[in-house]
Protein backbone atom coordinates (compact mmCIF):
# COMPACT_ATOMS: atom_id res chain seq x y z
CA UNK A 1 0.00 0.00 0.00
CA UNK A 2 1.11 3.35 -0.88
CA UNK A 3 0.06 6.20 1.29
CA UNK A 4 0.35 9.65 -0.13
CA UNK A 5 -0.80 13.00 0.96
CA UNK A 6 -3.76 14.34 -0.86
CA UNK A 7 -2.75 16.85 -3.54
CA UNK A 8 -2.49 20.36 -2.18
CA UNK A 9 -4.17 23.22 -3.86
CA UNK A 10 -1.76 25.95 -4.89
CA UNK A 11 -2.22 29.19 -3.04
CA UNK A 12 -2.40 32.34 -5.08
CA UNK A 13 0.07 35.02 -4.03
CA UNK A 14 -1.45 37.78 -1.97
CA UNK A 15 -1.54 41.21 -3.58
CA UNK A 16 -1.92 43.03 -0.28
CA UNK A 17 1.84 43.58 0.35
CA UNK A 18 2.34 44.89 -3.17
CA UNK A 19 -0.57 47.33 -2.80
CA UNK A 20 0.86 48.49 0.53
CA UNK A 21 4.24 49.19 -1.07
CA UNK A 22 2.64 51.10 -3.94
CA UNK A 23 0.70 53.31 -1.54
CA UNK A 24 3.78 53.91 0.60
CA UNK A 25 5.71 54.99 -2.50
CA UNK A 26 2.83 57.26 -3.51
CA UNK A 27 2.76 58.91 -0.08
CA UNK A 28 6.56 59.27 -0.09
CA UNK A 29 6.68 61.01 -3.46
CA UNK A 30 3.76 63.25 -2.58
CA UNK A 31 5.53 64.41 0.58
CA UNK A 32 8.94 64.70 -1.09
CA UNK A 33 7.76 66.81 -4.01
CA UNK A 34 7.23 70.54 -3.83
CA UNK A 35 3.86 72.06 -4.40
CA UNK A 36 3.20 75.69 -5.12
CA UNK A 37 4.93 78.34 -7.12
CA UNK A 38 8.66 78.79 -7.04
CA UNK A 39 10.13 82.25 -6.78
CA UNK A 40 9.54 83.90 -10.12
CA UNK A 41 11.80 86.47 -11.68
CA UNK A 42 9.64 88.85 -13.66
CA UNK A 43 11.39 90.27 -16.69
CA UNK A 44 9.56 92.48 -19.15
CA UNK A 45 9.47 91.17 -22.68
CA UNK A 46 11.46 93.00 -25.31
CA UNK A 47 9.73 94.85 -28.07
CA UNK A 48 8.58 97.90 -26.15
CA UNK A 49 10.37 100.14 -28.64
CA UNK A 50 12.59 101.84 -26.06
CA UNK A 51 15.97 103.22 -26.99
CA UNK A 52 19.35 103.01 -25.35
CA UNK A 53 21.08 106.20 -24.33
CA UNK A 54 24.12 107.10 -22.30
CA UNK A 55 27.48 105.43 -21.81
CA UNK A 56 27.86 101.67 -22.21
CA UNK A 57 26.65 99.53 -19.31
CA UNK A 58 27.59 95.96 -20.20
CA UNK A 59 27.79 93.60 -17.23
CA UNK A 60 29.64 90.40 -18.10
CA UNK A 61 28.59 87.53 -15.85
CA UNK A 62 31.03 84.66 -15.59
CA UNK A 63 30.81 81.48 -13.57
CA UNK A 64 32.90 83.01 -10.78
CA UNK A 65 33.75 86.51 -11.95
CA UNK A 66 31.91 89.67 -12.90
CA UNK A 67 32.95 92.61 -15.05
CA UNK A 68 31.52 95.98 -16.01
CA UNK A 69 32.47 97.11 -19.53
CA UNK A 70 35.35 94.63 -19.50
CA UNK A 71 36.78 95.75 -16.13
CA UNK A 72 36.62 93.10 -13.37
CA UNK A 73 34.49 94.13 -10.43
CA UNK A 74 33.24 92.60 -7.18
CA UNK A 75 29.54 91.85 -6.88
CA UNK A 76 29.23 94.07 -3.83
CA UNK A 77 30.50 97.11 -5.79
CA UNK A 78 28.36 96.62 -8.90
CA UNK A 79 25.68 99.13 -7.86
CA UNK A 80 28.27 101.76 -6.98
CA UNK A 81 30.13 101.26 -10.26
CA UNK A 82 26.93 101.57 -12.31
CA UNK A 83 25.79 104.79 -10.60
CA UNK A 84 27.99 107.20 -12.60
CA UNK A 85 26.98 105.50 -15.86
CA UNK A 86 23.23 105.88 -15.26
CA UNK A 87 21.29 109.09 -15.92
CA UNK A 88 18.30 107.66 -14.04
CA UNK A 89 17.58 104.28 -12.38
CA UNK A 90 15.23 103.31 -15.24
CA UNK A 91 18.08 103.24 -17.79
CA UNK A 92 18.90 99.89 -19.36
CA UNK A 93 21.63 97.65 -18.02
CA UNK A 94 22.85 94.99 -20.44
CA UNK A 95 23.75 91.58 -19.00
CA UNK A 96 25.85 89.07 -20.89
CA UNK A 97 26.57 85.55 -19.72
CA UNK A 98 30.16 84.37 -20.20
CA UNK A 99 32.34 81.41 -19.33
CA UNK A 100 29.40 79.02 -19.04
CA UNK A 101 27.58 81.08 -16.42
CA UNK A 102 24.53 79.18 -15.27
CA UNK A 103 21.03 80.59 -15.08
CA UNK A 104 21.09 80.80 -11.29
CA UNK A 105 24.15 83.06 -11.41
CA UNK A 106 22.42 85.40 -13.88
CA UNK A 107 19.31 85.48 -11.70
CA UNK A 108 21.44 86.28 -8.64
CA UNK A 109 23.05 89.25 -10.41
CA UNK A 110 19.65 90.45 -11.66
CA UNK A 111 18.28 90.23 -8.11
CA UNK A 112 21.30 92.18 -6.87
CA UNK A 113 20.65 94.89 -9.46
CA UNK A 114 17.00 95.11 -8.44
CA UNK A 115 18.01 95.41 -4.80
CA UNK A 116 20.11 98.51 -5.56
CA UNK A 117 17.33 100.06 -7.65
CA UNK A 118 18.04 99.09 -11.27
CA UNK A 119 14.99 97.35 -12.67
CA UNK A 120 15.47 97.50 -16.47
CA UNK A 121 17.85 94.79 -17.60
CA UNK A 122 18.39 93.21 -20.99
CA UNK A 123 19.96 89.78 -21.30
CA UNK A 124 22.02 89.27 -24.47
CA UNK A 125 23.82 86.23 -25.70
Segment 16-43, tens digit of pLDDT:
999 999 999 999 988 888 766 565 555 5
- The neighbouring-strand residues paired with 72 are 67
Confidence of residue 121 (pLDDT cuts 50, 70, 90): confident
pLDDT, residue 20, reads: 95
* pTM summary value: 0.58
How many C-beta atoms surround the C-beta of residue 82 within 10 A? 20
Residue 46 clears pLDDT 90, i.e. is over it: no
Q: Are 123 and 58 in contact (CB under 8 A)?
A: no
CA distance 74 to 81: 10
What's the pLDDT tens digit per position in 48-106? Answer: 545 677 788 888 888 888 888 888 888 888 888 888 888 887 788 888 888 777 888 88
Amino acid sequence: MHFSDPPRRRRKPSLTPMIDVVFLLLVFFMLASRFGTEAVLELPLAGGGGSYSGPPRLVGIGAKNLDLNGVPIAETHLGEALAPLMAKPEDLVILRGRDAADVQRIIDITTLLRAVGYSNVVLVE
